[in-house]
Structure 1
């Protein structure tokens, strides 16, 4: 009879990893859900306020150049002089001003270089160029 009873101090022949796999799957699903939510964003109906001008505004400025050569700063049409003065004001408020340059594929290269020269004169080093991933 004593031979049938297993001693508690004996080592196990195998390790049960099922609880560990369950935990790994839960963490994986949680990570996927949180990553997807943070990338796509969550739609909310923002409250309206009279002090909207005093609240923090996005720091990144977008410059767009259309196929016909028109230049826009944050969706407002500007000339090169207006672009330079506006960027200078933004740069004085935020020394590490990030700028995103989005040009049409048919836009004149000279126009893009003019915008990049203005950014260089104002010592704007955080410049991102917007492109699309090719489908191939």
Structure 2
């Protein structure tokens, strides 16, 4: 009788770790996906308002201007020329393109005006300004 052949009742001396490693890899992939999915744009401190609630429409594009004057389109950094080009491409696909402008309360006013002028040049009429409700 060979030493490699075991009887049914004898315990194994080694542990098969392959299923445990498969589970660990699956959990790692799920963790990576959930972590990257939770990132939802650029965080800014929005100014407060007492105006009525205005909800964003589906397929709304967000222009974000940070405190330092950095401009983002849907969480991607852009300059004003890139902003105009990308918005023009989106407007070609959707003529009634809704846009929201999220400017930090202490952002440079000039950057906000430049972003509004880009929207005006492209004929984007559905523009919303993101604010916080005043307490």
Whether TM exceeds 0.5 here: the answer is yes
Please list the CA deviations of residues 4-32 of structure 1 after superposition, one character each: whole Å capped at 9, or x if unmatched: xxxxxxxxxxxxxxxxxxxxxxxxxxxxx
Aligned to 1:76: 76
Aligned to 1:95: 95
Q: Which is bigger in relative contact order (C-alpha 8 A, separation at least 6)?
A: 2
Query: What count of residue pairs does the alignment treat as equivalent?
Result: 78
- The alignment status of 1:106 with 2:106, answered yes or no, reads yes
Unpaired runs of 5+ residues, structure 1, are: 1-57
Post-superposition offset of 1:133: 1.1
Alignment partners' CA distance in 2, 1:72 and 1:96: 21
- The alignment status of 1:61 with 2:61, answered yes or no, reads yes
Runs of 4+ in 1 over 4 A off after TM superposition: none
Give the structure-1-normalised TM-score. 0.56
SS at the partner of 1:107?
Answer: coil
**Greater gyration radius:** 1
Alignment partners' CA distance in 2, 1:112 and 1:68: 12
Q: Cα RMSD between the aligned structures? A: 0.7
